[in-house]
């Protein structure tokens, strides 16, 4: 028994290290969307048969590491590291204009360390409190997904446009399922991948249209100004509590707890809201800027951790924007993980790991990510930002993920799998761009199509 446990811990540790290293590097690349990167690689890990603890630590360590290193392009180059870094840009640009981007960077990633350490136990606690309602929610899964889809759509950028767009989007998914079913091809992962890379597919198709291509054309090479490197501590691993003052640490902890509890809301929205709450209570301009950017980057960690762990532990159903998006392979990755469309019964990490295992492996993943990403970012951010901006081709990174997605699509459904990925991705990408019908809402639309629509048909046929 002890030998088996040690094997599981070693696998979890190894996968956590792998996830932290990979996504610490990806986070340095500006514009590397979480869903487009985290989701496909996590799906690959699941389909390769990695044990459940390893799957969990890979995802969590990757998410935590990415939301530390995404601070590098955000603070030093003035471009968002990913989607979650977008709400940080206002304060980051102000601090760059003041000549202290290195201060902004250190405050951001130190806040991320504190928030990540708080978010795991808080997420487990909130999940335990919600778990008694788990069986009821599972049996009511079709209607819960419908309600969650409408709520998440309403709180997205599209508001009522996103809510109404759910209807045709769901109908397209149902129609595609019926079409592929006529040829004996049952797809699930391909829909997921199509939604995940929708913005990328839409951008690639837009380049083929003369009018859109003209808008994208640039007359000169994009340039960035990188400030000088300044180190204000001794040793390799600084203490985050010394990088932050007491008030900044306190606000980071408070916002981490609050955002861990509100797991059903958009993580971007929570980042904005928490920053506004903190900023309204601090008068001094410079201290307000540094405190807000610290708390906001902490919220990027706590929302991702909580929105993945709480639905996973309490219900086994992806009932949050993160669970339905980047963390979706933890819930539904046929043939290994599944959510039964008829009964709402699940077979995924929810049924494979205990609550204590979620806590233990979750803390392991966070600690591993901190030990790898935090000292690396604090000590080598300047050199890393310079190297990435000069040497790393953004197009090459995109091509790598496109190749990975093509392989998985062909594996699941051959030519039909590829057609579904392109169709769903193109539709979802343009809906996201023009109507604010974002990826999280689209994933909830997918689950509505596979869970709620069959339940509605069965109810009407009685």
pLDDT in tens, 402-451: 777 777 778 778 888 889 888 998 998 889 888 888 777 887 788 788 77
Closest CA to 255 of 292, 300, 299: 299
Residues 6 or more apart in contact with residue 318 via CB below 8 angstroms: 311, 324, 327, 328, 331, 332, 339, 443, 447
Mean pLDDT lowest among 2-11, 276-285, 291-300: 2-11
Average pLDDT over residues 258-286: 81
Helix (H, G, I), strand (E, B) or coil at 184: coil
pLDDT tens-digit readout, 72-121: 877 777 677 777 777 787 888 788 777 777 778 888 889 999 999 999 99
State both tokens at 234: 């001794």
Q: How far is CA 392 from the centre of its chain?
A: 23
Question: What integer pLDDT is reported at residue 454 of this predicted model?
Answer: 82
Question: What integer pLDDT is reported at residue 228 of this predicted model?
Answer: 58
Question: What integer pLDDT is reported at residue 245 of this predicted model?
Answer: 85
Phi, psi torsion values for 346, nearest 5 degrees: -125, 150
Provide the pLDDT confidence category of residue 310 given band limits of 50, 70 and 90: very high
Alpha-carbon distance of 108 to 244, in angstroms, equals 9
Which helix (DSSP H) or strand (DSSP E) does residue 339 occupy? Answer: strand 338-339
Helix (H, G, I), strand (E, B) or coil at 319: coil
Provide the pLDDT confidence category of residue 13 given band limits of 50, 70 and 90: very high
Residues 6 or more apart in contact with residue 232 via CB below 8 angstroms: none
Does position 389 have pLDDT exceeding 80, yes or no?
no
* Burial zone of 131 (CB within 10 Å; 0-12 exposed, 13-18 middle, 19+ buried): middle
Alpha-carbon distance of 267 to 326, in angstroms, equals 12
Average pLDDT over residues 186-210: 80
Question: What integer pLDDT is reported at residue 382 of this predicted model?
Answer: 64
Give percent of the chain above pLDDT 90.
20
State both tokens at 191: 């829909």
Question: What integer pLDDT is reported at residue 32 of this predicted model?
Answer: 66
The pairing of beta strand 338-339 with beta strand 346-347? antiparallel
């Amino acid at each position: 028994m002890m030998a088996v446990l040690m094997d599981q811990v070693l696998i979890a540790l190894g996968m956590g290290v792998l996830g932290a290293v990979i996504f610490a590097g990806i986070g340095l690349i500006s514009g590397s969307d979480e869903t487009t990167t985290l989701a496909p690689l996590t799906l690959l890990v699941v389909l390769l048969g990695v044990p459940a603890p390893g799957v969990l630590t890979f995802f969590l360590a990757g998410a935590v590491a990415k939301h530390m290193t995404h601070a590098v392009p955000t603070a030093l180059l003035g471009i968002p590291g990913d989607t979650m870094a977008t709400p940080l840009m206002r304060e980051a640009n102000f601090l760059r204009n003041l000549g202290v981007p290195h201060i902004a960077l250190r405050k951001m990633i130190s806040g991320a360390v504190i928030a990540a350490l708080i978010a795991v136990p808080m997420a487990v606690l909130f999940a335990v409190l919600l778990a008694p309602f788990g069986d009821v929610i599972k049996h009511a899964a079709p209607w819960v997904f419908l309600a969650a889809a409408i709520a998440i759509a309403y709180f997205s950028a599209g508001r009522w446009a996103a809510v109404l767009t759910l209807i045709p989007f769901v109908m397209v998914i149902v129609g595609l399922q019926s079409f592929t079913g006529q040829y004996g091809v049952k797809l699930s992962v391909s829909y997921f991948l199509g939604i995940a890379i929708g913005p990328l597919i839409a951008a690639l198709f837009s380049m083929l249209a003369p009018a859109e291509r003209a808008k994208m054309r640039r007359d000169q090479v994009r340039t960035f100004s990188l400030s000088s490197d300044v180190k204000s501590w001794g040793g390799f691993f600084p203490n985050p509590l010394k990088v932050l003052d007491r008030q900044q640490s306190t606000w980071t902890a408070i916002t981490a707890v609050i955002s861990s509890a509100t797991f059903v809301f958009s993580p971007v929205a929570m980042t904005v809201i928490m920053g506004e709450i903190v900023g309204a209570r601090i008068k001094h301009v410079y201290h307000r800027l540094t405190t807000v950017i610290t708390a906001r980057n902490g919220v990027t960690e706590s929302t991702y951790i909580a929105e993945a762990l709480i639905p996973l532990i309490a219900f086994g159903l992806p009932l949050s924007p993160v669970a339905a998006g980047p963390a979706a392979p933890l819930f539904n990755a046929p043939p290994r993980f599944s959510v039964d469309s008829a009964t709402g019964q699940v077979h995924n990490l929810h049924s494979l790991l205990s609550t204590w295992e979620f806590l233990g492996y979750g803390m392991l993943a966070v600690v591993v990510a901190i030990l790898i990403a935090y000292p690396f970012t604090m000590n080598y951010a300047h050199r890393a930002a310079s190297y990435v901006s000069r040497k790393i081709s953004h197009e090459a990174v995109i091509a790598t993920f496109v190749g990975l997605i093509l392989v998985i699509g062909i594996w699941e459904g051959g030519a039909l799998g590829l057609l579904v990925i392109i169709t769903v991705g193109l539709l979802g990408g343009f809906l996201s761009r023009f109507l604010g019908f974002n990826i999280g809402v689209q994933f909830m639309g997918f689950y509505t199509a596979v869970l709620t629509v069959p339940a509605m048909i069965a109810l009407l046929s009685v």
